[in-house]
Amino acid sequence: MLSLKESLKILKETKALLEGHFILSSGLHSPQYVQCAKLLSQPEKASKICDSLATKISKEFKEIDLILSPAMGGIIVGYEIGKIMRKETIFAERVNGKFELRRDFKIEKNHKVLIVEDVITTGKSSLECSRLVFESDAKIVGYACIIDRSNGRSLIKDKIVSQIELNIPTYNQKDLPENLSLIKAIKPGSRNL
Determine phi and psi for 142, rounding to 5 degrees: 165, -170
Report the 10 Å Cβ neighbour count for 91: 22
pLDDT tens digits along 108-132: 999 999 999 998 887 888 888 999 9
Q: Say how far apart CA 154 and CA 55 lie, in whole Å.
A: 23
pLDDT tens digits along 52-89: 999 999 999 999 999 999 988 789 999 999 999 999 99
Sorted by where each starts, the structural domains of the chain and their CATH numbers stand as: 4-192 (3.40.50.2020)
Q: Say how far apart CA 122 and CA 24 lie, in whole Å.
A: 10
Closest CA to 115 of 123, 23, 44, 27: 123
pTM: 0.83
